[in-house]
Structures are given as structure tokens and as C-alpha cells.
Amino acid sequence: MEHVEIITVTSDVLDEMVEKILFFSSQPDMAEHVQAWMGGHGMTPDDDRVPGEYRACALVGDTLMYLQTIPEGEFPFAISPDGSVQKYRCPRS
């Protein structure tokens, strides 16, 4: 994965982000919307900006967001329309 910006947020904000991603990822046709967004932004399912394994993936506004579970915990990631990647964390993680 190319450069990832780490953004520190409070645990409440992190929890809210996780809830939103889980909610939006469960919406009908979200997988098709995600694939269309990726195609429209020059990404493929094996793009190195998206991990091969993630818990949920959704469009939130015009941003692709997903949850990745790693040994340190579950973290929201965002890929902006310009291709930049942000990882959100809170001080406890």
C-alpha cells in the first residue's frame, strides 16, 4: 500500500465510523456501488490500496470506506476520490 495518512480520533468517533461502515455495507446493491466506484476511479479489486481481507466495505458519501482487522484491532480506512488513503485510529490502538 502506498502512503497512508494516519488520523487520530477519539474512541467515540472511531466507534461511530465503524457503525456507519457496517450499516452502509449492509445496504442493498452496495457491492455493485463499490465496484462501480472502484472502476470509475481506476481501481481493481486487487488494488494495493484495499487489503485482500476486510470485514466490510461501503461508500459513505463519495468516499470508499472499509474495516480491516489486524492483530492490533479493527480499523476504518478511507480512500478519497483523489486516491489518497487514510487510516483512522484512536489513542488506545
| 14-23 tens-digit pLDDT | 989 999 999 9
9: amino acid identity, one letter: V
d(CA 3, CA 13): 23
d(CA 62, CA 54): 19
Domain boundaries of the chain, sorted by first residue:
4-89
List of residues 6+ apart from 71 with CB closer than 8 A: none
DSSP 8-state class, residue 55: S
More confident residue, 73 or 79: 79
Q: What is the pLDDT of residue 56?
A: 87
Q: Match 442493498 to its residue by C-alpha cell.
A: 28
Instruction: Report pTM.
Output: 0.80
Give 51-71 pLDDT, tens digit per residue: 656 778 899 889 999 888 777
d(CA 60, CA 92): 25
Q: What is the pLDDT of residue 4?
A: 85
The three grid cell numbers given for residue 15, joined into one nine-digit string: 466507534
Q: What is the pLDDT of residue 55?
A: 76
Q: What is the pLDDT of residue 50?
A: 67
